[in-house]
Structure 1
């Protein structure tokens, strides 16, 4: 129907676009039908057309079909470009076919097509996501030798890979490079970095992380959490008091995460006086206890704290009759543990 409206529509440009769109949608039978039509009309089969077919099959995991059209290109005396191989490499990586990915790179070089900046960035990203750090670092060194620059997404992939394996020194080196390049590091990744510091008892680094984040996002609830958690894990009353004063000066309202961080620190210090005072002030601060708060109270009772008044107050305010939820930031639980509450329940 499309062809019959106007014969001039039958040209290389239009078929290029159509085959590209069909390939992106994974409609490979239709894409190949359009490809065969191009042949029947005597239209020139361009590199872009072959790339669409090859990449479409590769994305669907049909690598034999993709390689069939790659070989057909050579028979047509049409040289594959770096884009052609990049699409194959990316598809192999997504299917975790890393040996085939390396072979594709060698084939690319043997065909006289030199890997470019995009190829190397793509290799690093795929190796990083697969946890193949040695291969990732080897490609990274090759890029440095060739004085090629890393893409922002590549730096983030490397940062996440080092965080996943808890390799602190290399993680920090890449993080510093990301900060210096003004690359946005999303909160979920920052949380992962914070988790690595917690696992390695590097609590002062949480403060450094918060300072770096402040320059980029301002003092969000998450930033306050990191500041406070850093001092609380080090059991520094002075540090916690300083953060609390800064929050008051900034007119920041408390939430249950802030309260529980301080309560957990007092529990670790066995400072029952401050623990009792803060528990009694929760209602005044309009902060409702969550399951972590109850756990703190029960853990404190295990070591001699008298929590009857607190429980009575929660009973009067109806807290004991509500559905108790977990509203504390998960990093707090990672830092201090779950306590004995599960056994109590």
Structure 2
């Protein structure tokens, strides 16, 4: 069917006709009104309205009159109900920028008392959205009330798509709630739009909520929605839930397609569960699907993330043999994997290979290589490559600069990191939260706490939405997400949706906002510097800003208070933590245990750990039995019982045992510390070097040098290289002992064979004493030989 025939079927009224005549000698022969379409438009059912082919009986603005007449006819006759007709008008609006004329037509209809259907506004919303004029699209939706027009499901769907694209989730929720309150029933498309939008931004919880709501409304999920939610679950690392949904999908008779299989394969690969990933591959093959470039990319990416570089590279080679042509994503995965394996030269070769194949490496490819150079400490080469990107129009993004800044900070090059940060801002490349956090952390670690605090304030004052809210809202300040959501809901309900949009966009445009991690880094810096007042001020400030402290925040503050001997305050913070609904993590309990041991109270440390186990496991009787063993002095029974519980729960954590072992050493209960060591060794649990150091030190002090030597030989067997201080301490005690001196030669010989650099490791006094001992020994042996 020709384009003209399609237009005739569209129902062009009498008085209008389709004109395909060409302009001749600057004139046009048509009379009356015509609906013109050029050659290019014919292929798209009238997409290009040429001004030369639109004529009128009057000379004044023939285009506008023709277009206006057409819009009037289409809107009055309800000719815009089908998606095809709406798309046609949208193309007309976009190609000729006839939005103003369209609004004028709506005003005329309103003035004539003619009811306007919601499809008229759906066209405007979709047209503005295609032009990336989001504000105009939202304004169109908000003005529907002026025309006594109620949005239908298509209008709401169009609106939801527009604001989801901008990730304005508070506004999405407000519009969706308005849809429900207006008795407009969501359809498949509504839920597909919402679920897809939430999934793509990692908001799996909200996506599942919509999925459940859809089922409650008796809307059966179709293949598209199943695939969307399945992909979202995999993206959110909930691959077991995704697998169950995959099986439900099959049971419901919805045959999974290649996209579903690839999503599941990718989910298992990202978690390093390759047995299940290979099972998915077999199922794919059974259902007649072949592994494509996306599947190979997922496999190789997963293997590289798991450190299985040779296996990943083998799949890459296999893809070539199968005739798979790598795309930019596949190359980027390979380049990143090779860079992580410190095969940066091979990664650079792949960059060149991409160019030879006609693929343009993007900044992600370059960033992978720059990251590789930074990880290897080759910062000059990383910087050079960043400059190379600029020369080849592949401009560095915020991630490029952040990688370089993190690399510089890790290597203590804070001045250079600061220079890159300044360069970044001058070029209009806005720092991310990670960029700020890297710099603040680097400054804190180097003791430049004042500079770190200044950078924090720069970040906060320049970009904090709460400041904008305080200025814009006056006394009705919005300081947290709950009150902000209420504000947005009220705006949408009152019809000021555009105002709500502008508010949220201003917040989004405000850029980088100090998040909880930023506060935690700075609080930790203050605590380590002994400035607990500054740390507590930040702790209070983050809560005023609407952030909730997490277990790390509380743990850091508690540790800081313990550092300055404010034990009582630390326990008060601990109580507040539980009251505020933040469950203390094991790290918080370990902090209390460590400080209890330092204060020579190992019993309290043990009780604290048992309290933690009781709170998370609820096994009160078992925990009480362990506590009774410890109180009776039956330490070995208590430790063995604790180990048995850990193994039963398959949740072994060495840290509490290490803290207790060191605590026993600190309280001069070395025999009990040695018992803990022996029990752990019996269970094939490797004891940490700090525990071994404390044990050697304690045993030497008590004159139990034979056992101290055994512990030292244990460290050699496990491949630990201990610090010079403890090695010299042990040798000094052995050289002073008449009974244990014979161990010295064995230890020195073993140290040498296990990789110790004796010249650098042994102190001058130790070398002097060792030399004296060896000289006496030689003299003694010589005299024995003479006799």
Scaled by the length of structure 1, the TM-score of the pair is 0.59
- Equivalent-residue separation in structure 1 for 2:442 and 2:599 (angstroms): 31
Paired residues of 1:210 and 1:224 also in contact (CA < 8 A) = no
Judging changes above 3 Å, is the alpha-carbon distance between structure 1 residues 79 and 187 closer, same or farther for their aligned structure 2 residues?
closer
Query: What is the aligned partner in structure 1 of residue 454 from structure 2?
Result: 173
Residue 88 (structure 1) shift: 1.2
The match for 2:534 among 208, 229, 242 is 208
Is residue 2:295 matched to residue 1:14?
A: yes
1:19-71 Cα deviation digits (max 9, x unpaired): 22233233333333333333333332201111111111110111222122122
Paired residues of 1:19 and 1:52 also in contact (CA < 8 A) = yes
1:81-133 Cα deviation digits (max 9, x unpaired): 10001111112212211122112212323333110122122221221122111
- Equivalent-residue separation in structure 1 for 2:571 and 2:302 (angstroms): 56
Residue 167 (structure 1) shift: 2.0
Which stretch of structure 1 is more off in the superposition, 152-161 or 28-37?
28-37
Paired residues of 2:363 and 2:396 also in contact (CA < 8 A) = yes
Is residue 2:456 matched to residue 1:160?
A: no
- Equivalent-residue separation in structure 1 for 2:574 and 2:376 (angstroms): 50
The match for 1:194 among 522, 527, 534 is 527
Paired residues of 2:440 and 2:521 also in contact (CA < 8 A) = no
Residue 137 (structure 1) shift: 0.8
The match for 2:516 among 173, 176, 184 is 184
Paired residues of 1:109 and 1:115 also in contact (CA < 8 A) = yes
- Equivalent-residue separation in structure 2 for 1:249 and 1:33 (angstroms): 57
The match for 1:112 among 373, 389, 393 is 393
- Equivalent-residue separation in structure 2 for 1:292 and 1:247 (angstroms): 14
Q: What are structure 2's unaligned runs of at least 5 residues? A: 1-280, 465-512, 544-548, 577-594, 602-662, 668-701, 703-787
2:417 aligned counterpart, secondary structure: helix
Paired residues of 1:159 and 1:171 also in contact (CA < 8 A) = yes
Is residue 2:415 matched to residue 1:134?
A: yes
1:217-265 Cα deviation digits (max 9, x unpaired): 49968658868988x9xxxxxxx9xx98x99999979xxxxxxxxxxxx
1:8 aligned counterpart, secondary structure: coil
- Equivalent-residue separation in structure 2 for 1:252 and 1:95 (angstroms): 45
1:162 aligned counterpart, secondary structure: helix
Paired residues of 1:210 and 1:227 also in contact (CA < 8 A) = no
What is the RMSD of the two structures over their aligned residues, measured on CA atoms? 4.2
Is residue 2:312 matched to residue 1:31?
A: yes
Which stretch of structure 1 is more off in the superposition, 175-184 or 123-132?
175-184
Judging changes above 3 Å, is the alpha-carbon distance between structure 1 residues 291 and 208 closer, same or farther for their aligned structure 2 residues?
closer
- Equivalent-residue separation in structure 1 for 2:559 and 2:344 (angstroms): 48
Paired residues of 2:348 and 2:369 also in contact (CA < 8 A) = no
User: Where does 1:80-91 land on structure 2 (aligned, <5 Å)?
Assistant: 80-91=361-372
Paired residues of 2:354 and 2:360 also in contact (CA < 8 A) = yes
- Equivalent-residue separation in structure 1 for 2:556 and 2:336 (angstroms): 41
Q: What are structure 1's unaligned runs of at least 5 residues? A: 199-204, 233-239, 254-287, 295-321, 327-344
User: Where does 1:33-112 land on structure 2 (aligned, <5 Å)?
Assistant: 33-112=314-393
For these two proteins, the number of residue pairs brought into alignment is 250
1:174-210 Cα deviation digits (max 9, x unpaired): 23356653421475763333333x4xxxxxx532321
Scaled by the length of structure 2, the TM-score of the pair is 0.28
2:324 aligned counterpart, secondary structure: coil
Residue 325 (structure 1) shift: 5.0
- Equivalent-residue separation in structure 2 for 1:292 and 1:191 (angstroms): 22
Paired residues of 1:28 and 1:53 also in contact (CA < 8 A) = no
Judging changes above 3 Å, is the alpha-carbon distance between structure 1 residues 132 and 67 closer, same or farther for their aligned structure 2 residues?
same
Paired residues of 2:554 and 2:573 also in contact (CA < 8 A) = no
Higher relative contact order (CA 8 A, sep 6+): 1
Name the larger-Rg structure. Answer: 2
1:270-299 Cα deviation digits (max 9, x unpaired): xxxxxxxxxxxxxxxxxx9976699xxxxx
Judging changes above 3 Å, is the alpha-carbon distance between structure 1 residues 94 and 7 closer, same or farther for their aligned structure 2 residues?
same
Judging changes above 3 Å, is the alpha-carbon distance between structure 1 residues 175 and 324 closer, same or farther for their aligned structure 2 residues?
farther
1:133-177 Cα deviation digits (max 9, x unpaired): 122111111221133332222222111211222223311112335
1:9 aligned counterpart, secondary structure: coil
